[in-house]
Amino acid sequence: MIPSILPTYSRAPMQFVKGEGCWLIEADGRRFLDMGAGIAVNVLGHANPELTAALTKQAETLWHVSNLYQIDQQQELADRLTEATFADTVFFTNSGTEACELAVKMARKYWSDKGEDRVEIVAFTGAFHGRSSAAIAASGAEKMVKGFGPLLPGFIQVPFADHDALRAAVSDKTCAIIIEPIQGEGGIVNVPDQCLKGLRDLCDETGALLIFDEVQCGVGRTGKLFAHEWAGVTPDIMMVAKGIGGGFPLGAVLATENAASGMVLGTHGSTYGGNPLACAVGNAVMKTVANDEFLDEVNRKAGLLRQKLEGLVAAHPGVFESVRGSGLMLGVKCKIAPGEVVSAGFAEEVIVVPAADNTIRLLPPLNITDAEISEAVVRLDRAASALKAA
Ligand SMILES: *Cc1c(COP(=O)(O)O)cnc(C)c1O
């Protein structure tokens, strides 16, 4: 018999009833150190007092109004985001997937309005942009698209880091190039700064719009507000979600005035996107994260975590291979199935997240303490020892 929850997820046996900072707690009091943060979502930890206060205050005042009316909290968040980034304008969504939908629509409408037949969107193998028809077509991965055809046409996948294939794929039919500055689901794979610069140049030459998917790597995760800032280039369109809501469903598409020029009155909408509850939390997240002192601390802690993970890899060469990633978005490539490492971590009450390419991911709350970083690596060390003994 089919379970009452559609069985698309393989769920671990833990059941958390409470969260506190970097900790998730079961009914019997067992405390797990959460290095996954709901997959890069809880940027300020669980039950953060400032976010709770912002959400509660808004809940007591006004939950929801339609986008048919002015929404102060939304205006404030849009102003914060445009002030802090390349973008001139923002549309709010409820998720990363919805941000992908709009990014694709925006890019196609841009060329349509110019009267040009440019609909092709170039994406990269190993990419993840969500689970909608557009997002799975962009990824092209067999496990995501199989059985869901006919797929949305117009997407081309280029092998990751294959410059010749990229040059060959981009033509006067190319509408946009979409890329995660750091692949998350793909296994924490950094795009080198010079490649992001190269993509920007290629887009400038050909006119194609550049879309950065910063759903996982954005909002302070890499020690800059957005990961592309490290490379010193900006996109035309950017997808944001996960961390921006700190656990409340919120996403956004940020764009330049030029890239957004096709999205005029009536061309897009959302019932919930940017509602007062979500934006009250988004503003509270931005207030803390879009701050140099906070980001300096993320960088310092990232250095500490990375150094300790390098030590872990050196201590367990039969289990681990190497550390990669950037900031507090780190991956450890494993020599055994990453699922086994994740399970061994659960036994030691530390949570990490599996990813593709035999990798485990560490994406802790950005306000994790030094002591918690040390404790997480001690627990992973015990997990790796238990795996070796088994
Ligand atoms: C999670 C993720 C998405 C999809 O976001 P949802 O909120 O799950 O729809 C898109 N792109 C990237 C890079 C992601 O990590």
Q: pLDDT tens, 111-151?
A: 999 999 999 999 999 999 999 999 999 999 999 999 999 99
CA-closest residue to ligand 1 atom 5: 96
**Ligand 1 proximity of 183 Cβ (cutoff 6 Å):** no
128 CA distance to ligand 1 middle (Å): 7
Token pair 């988004």 in the structure block, residue = 282
**Ligand 1 proximity of 215 Cβ (cutoff 6 Å):** yes
Confidence category of residue 161, pLDDT binned at 50, 70, 90: confident
**Ligand 1 proximity of 241 Cβ (cutoff 6 Å):** yes
Q: How far apart are CA 74 and CA 77, in angstroms?
A: 5
- Return the percent helix, strand and coil in the chain, to nearest 5: 40, 20, 40
pTM: 0.98
181 CA distance to ligand 1 middle (Å): 13
* Mean pLDDT, rounded, for 12-26: 97
**Ligand 1 proximity of 96 Cβ (cutoff 6 Å):** yes
What does the pLDDT look like over 218-238, one tens digit per residue? 999 999 999 999 999 999 999
User: Do 222 and 182 touch, CB atoms closer than 8 A?
Assistant: yes
98 CA distance to ligand 1 middle (Å): 9
Q: Which domains are delineated in the chain? A: 52-289 (3.40.640.10), 293-330 (no CATH)
What does the pLDDT look like over 330-343, one tens digit per residue? 999 999 999 999 99
**Ligand 1 proximity of 327 Cβ (cutoff 6 Å):** no
Instruction: Report the 3 state secondary structure along 296-355.
Output: HHHHHHHHHHHHHHHHHHHHCCCCEEEEEEECCEEEEEECCCHHHHHHHHHHCCEECEEE
**Ligand 1 proximity of 184 Cβ (cutoff 6 Å):** yes
131 CA distance to ligand 1 middle (Å): 8
**Ligand 1 proximity of 281 Cβ (cutoff 6 Å):** no
- Site to substitute for ligand 1 among 9, 42, 97, most atoms within 8 A of C-beta: 97
